[in-house]
Amino acid sequence: MCGRIAQYRYIENYCDVLGLDGKLLSSIENKPLAKYNAAPTTLVALLHLEDDTLHADLVRWEWKPHWATNRAMPNGRVEKVAHSPYYRAAWPNRAIVPVDGWFEWLKEEDGKQPYFIRRRDGAPCLCASIGQWPHDGAESKEHDGFVIITADSMGGMVDIHDRRPVALAPALARERLDPATPKERAEQLVLHQGEPVEAFEWFEVDRAVGNSRNQGAHLIAPLGKLSS
């Protein structure tokens, strides 16, 4: 998890779900994001808090520390992000990636079948993230980017994939974004307070999603029965 995400609403829709009072400073155009099949390395909407202002910016979905020789990664395991030296520079920078769902692939006899996973109630998922991005109006830097924090899938979703994003309820997402929240509490939120598997549903979708150049609402339309 996860190799593709969907982000197709207006940025204001995601901010409304987060429900954070105060100012909003957005560098994102006032039109639907229309990203039905966003892959790592692309720019996606990221929400972060700075000086009591919620910032909404397009940030590259992948990150690695400046000293690392491996390729940048799109996701970070919740078991490691708080204490691994690899994530030391990114861990203090808390963010939320709002997504309408994400894709996973299940190997079948005739090839890999993609599934789309979303909240049962149709609301966006508020995914915990960390990374590096411009502050105080500074320009972007070479190593700016973010990772989505992932956890063990547990329950029925493991049939699709053994990892999933750590999605937080709005109140917990607001708490995690707050700079006043102690780092120990921020760690506990991603370790133990992610939304339960029962909050999600998943279903087969068109295999055209395998090509990240393909876009459109048809990529998230169910092909078969939804998960029960």
Check residue 22 and report its DSSP letter: S
Positive or negative, the CA dihedral 179, 54, 12, 96 is negative
Pairing state between β 200-204 and 111-119 = antiparallel
Evaluate whether 24 touches 54 at the Cβ level (below 8 Å): yes
Residue among 17, 9, 57, 7 nearest 195 (CA): 17
Which of 29, 50, 79, 104 is an active site residue?
Answer: 104
> Would you state the structure tokens that stand for residue 152, as one six-digit string?
């063990």
Tell me, yes or no, if 104 is annotated catalytic. yes
The amino acid occupying position 159 is D
Positive or negative, the CA dihedral 72, 75, 79, 83 is positive
Pairing state between β 145-152 and 75-77 = parallel
Which of 2, 15, 125, 127 is an active site residue?
Answer: 2
Active site residues: 2, 104
